[in-house]
Each structure stands twice: as C-alpha cells, then as structure tokens.
Structure 1
C-alpha cells in the first residue's frame, strides 16, 4: 500500500510539473490594440493624456482614419466609456469652417475610439486646423483643443473632390479604399458628404457613383468587371468594385447621380471627351 501511495504521489507531481511547464511555454500574450499605428499627437493634461493614432505618419488632405485613447495617469489605465466626440475647425484669415467627419465610436477594444475626418485643404503658416475633443473622465466633462498640421498627399494624386453639384449643393467626395491596390478586382470605397453650412457636413445617402477607370498613358483603355458605388448603411460609405488590369497610372472617372438618377457632376468618357471632371487618381 505504501508503494502504491508513493507511485500515485510521483504521478500527480509529474502531471503538475508538465501542466506548469506547458503554461510557462505558452504564456498569454496581451494584444496591443494600436499595434502598427503611429501616435501622431498627444495632449497632456493634469491627470490624464489624450493620445491620437493614425495609419499615416501625418494628417493629409482627404480621408484620415484616426483612433484615440485616453489614459488616466493616476491609475495608469486607459479609459472606457469616455463617450468622446470631436469637431475639426479650420481657422482662416477671414472665416472659420469645419470638415466632414464621422462620430467617434468604440472599436473591439473598449478603450480605443475610432473615426475619420476628411480635410478639404492643407494648413499653412497663417491658416490652421484645430480639433476640439469633448469626453467624460471620472464623471466630469472635459474639453481639449489640439492644433494639427494637415499637408497635401505626398503622392500628389487627387483622391478628394470638393465641388458644386448641378443642384447648387456643395459636396465633398473622398477616396477610402483600396489602400494597396492590386492587379485584380479591388473593393472600392468612398465617402460622400454635403455642406449644409460652414459647420455642418451631413452624410449623403442613396446616391450612386459610376466608375470608369482609364489608363491615359495606354490609349485610355478601360477594364472589365467594375461595379458602380452605392451607399451601404452598414459602413456609411459608398461601396463598389474597381478592376485594375495592370500596374501604372489610372484615372478613375466618376459620375455622381442623385436618388432620381439625375447627374449632379461628371461626364461619360468618349472619344471626344477622354475624361470626366469628377475623378480619383491611382498609381501603383
């Protein structure tokens, strides 16, 4: 009996050792919710900081996806349920105006909030962009204003259009995806806003944007299997398909149609008219 007890004790110790070794070899790795992003700004306050992240190295004219985190310095933790909102403001020499922007919403990580801003113009020495953040911290409402630099895209390609439609409404159309175009049929996304007044840019729903990609340097040929962009209530964007048959410079000719099918901006591409006045540019 003593021998049996001894064998059982050795067995349980062996199992415990293997279990502990297995846990040590496969420790739980905590995921960084902003991994791969760049913290482009940080707003220091007395008891907390607001951190601003982007996929880009700096903010540019056009569509900018932005994430923010609020760190409580006393507890050294990031804040959930801060209910943040924001307002971009362009301070010009004689006036101020805002920019199209989404709400800030939680990502899968409750302490990370995501949204986008479409900047219509670059900042300079005398005219600058400011983003005003409002949020809740420890039961109190906070407000912080951050002056940001907005530059022209480094590739110098046109991915943002600000224009007056034939309905006398000013629109802002901005390219979103694909970020890394391929020789394939790519998922195409854009956002469309209209200017209600200098500080209000609501989303435009239920319009259509036709898609006609051309290669001006290659006889202005097009490509098969493109799909026009239509509004998605799930993404709050316009989704379509973009067929790219080879690498190089592409001009994505567009037409904007309202819910009644009336053309508000853009023209068909023909031999007599090789390009639309409404377009995006890509080169890859």
Structure 2
C-alpha cells in the first residue's frame, strides 16, 4: 500500500523515519504542505532510495520526488548526482521481449534535501524506475517497480517514420473561466531517447461540441524555454460540461501534426 508523507520545511528531519517505516501506513507526518505519495523504495547498502509522486501514477506527466539516505546510519543524502531512467519491459505472445524508455526530465536538487523530476509515462503497466546516484563516497543504481494506470493525457502521433508524444500537463482540474494551459512535446529518436521538441508553432481551437459553440479569451501555447519542450497558453471555458481542445503543431512553417484533448469542466 502506498504511504502518504507531507512536504514542509521539516521533511528532511522526518524523512529517515518515513522511509524506515515504509511498510507501515501510520507514518509520522509534518503538519503542513501538499501531500506526497510514496510509490516505491529500494535499498542496497549503504544507500536507500524512496520515490514519491503527487498522486497514483497514470499515463501522463508525473511530477516525482526522490529521497536518498544512508541505510546504515539513517543520514539524509542531499549532495548527490541523480539520474532517473524509466523502463518498460514487454513480453509478446511469441515469447520475444522488447524494452523501451519514456520521455524523462532532468533530476534537480530541490528543497527539503530531496530531488525533483518528471516522467512522462506513455503507457500503462509496470515500469522499472532505475535511479542512478553518485555521492562523494558511493555510486550505484537501484531499481523500483511502479504500477502506472490508464490515462488520457498523452497523445502518440506517427508522422512518417517518426513518433511524437504530446502531453497535457495543465489544467488537471479544468474549471469555468481562464485556465493555465501547459503542454510538452517529445520526439522518439530511439527506444531509449525521447528528446524534447522545442521550436514548434501551435494553433488552438476550443469548442463545446454538444452546444456547438467555442469560447473567446484563449491564448495558443508558446514555447516556455529554449530546451525543455514545454508550451504555455490559456484556455477559457465559459460553462461546465465536455469541451474539446484541438491543436495544430507546426515546424519550420509547415504543419507537422494535429491532435487534441477532451476536457470535462466541473
């Protein structure tokens, strides 16, 4: 069973106790901050790794937090280089196997002696999350199995011999009125490499098919930074119900692909 912890300025002090009791749901928790869900842990003396998520992982953009500690002393490890590599191992009916990775963002040192990153899970099933670490005294790789549920926030589109993944990050809970819109786009270069696509032009059309109308005040997403493949805009919903956001992605002045997302506004 997953275990809940709380992020706050006190989490570094509490993390050792949280990890050491990973089989017990009655963990002590810090009183403030958004909840994090423990989704896996692994240890190989002297390092223990614990992986947290904001919610149970589903197909889509998963913000992840990594905690490291010395398994022998309980000391939090906050000075380390960390790389996360997700792997999906698939077995076909004929007994053959195939493995592939997924779009993965860099791991950065966050607050509270933790490390933050994001994985774009492109299919459901059991993923092997390989956490490679290097400290002043230790290096190695630990693997954690994470179950990923179904979801509708990733669109996979083939364009000729290429495969693109368009991921809806925000809004996660669409509401009436203007909503921040965030997408990320990746191109599959190989089964192990999914680089971000950073130079797209995106046109957007917002409609409510059941009512045969759209909305005003929408802002098509534009690149947020030169390297991360994220695009930010605004989508405006004028009433509750089922909406559709159509997207046309262009590259070098030519249309590359079209896709879209259904959103239910509460």
Question: With structure 2 as the length reference, what TM-score do the two structures score?
Answer: 0.81
Q: Cα deviation per residue 1:155-192 (whole Å; 9 max; x = unaligned)?
A: xxx321111126x4210110101223221211110110
Matches within 5 A, 1:1-284: 30-32=9-11, 35-56=34-55, 58-93=56-91, 94-109=97-112, 111-123=113-125, 128-153=126-151, 158-165=152-159, 168-219=161-212, 221-233=213-225, 236=228, 237-258=230-251, 260-266=252-258, 278-283=259-264, 284=266
Shift of 1:61: 1.0
Question: With structure 1 as the length reference, what TM-score do the two structures score?
Answer: 0.76
Separation in 2 of the partners of 1:145 and 1:177? 29
Shift of 1:235: 8.4
- Pick the structure with more strand per residue: 2
Does the 8 Å contact 2:43/2:71 carry over to 1?
no
**What SS does the corresponding residue of 1:39 show, helix, strand or coil?**
strand
Separation in 2 of the partners of 1:188 and 1:147? 31
Runs (4 or more) in structure 1 with deviation over 3 Å come to 29-35
Does the 8 Å contact 1:159/1:281 carry over to 2?
no
Does the 8 Å contact 1:164/1:170 carry over to 2?
yes
Separation in 1 of the partners of 2:262 and 2:65? 26
Separation in 2 of the partners of 1:235 and 1:186? 24
Larger Rg: 1
Separation in 1 of the partners of 2:186 and 2:244? 22
Separation in 2 of the partners of 1:196 and 1:235? 16
Does the 8 Å contact 2:198/2:226 carry over to 1?
no
Does the 8 Å contact 1:99/1:201 carry over to 2?
yes
Separation in 2 of the partners of 1:238 and 1:78? 35
Question: How many residues matched?
Answer: 232
Q: Cα deviation per residue 1:207-242 (whole Å; 9 max; x = unaligned)?
A: 0222212112222x1110111111111782111111
Separation in 2 of the partners of 1:170 and 1:108? 35
Separation in 1 of the partners of 2:107 and 2:199? 23
Structure 1 unaligned regions, length at least 5: 1-28, 267-277
Shift of 1:244: 1.0
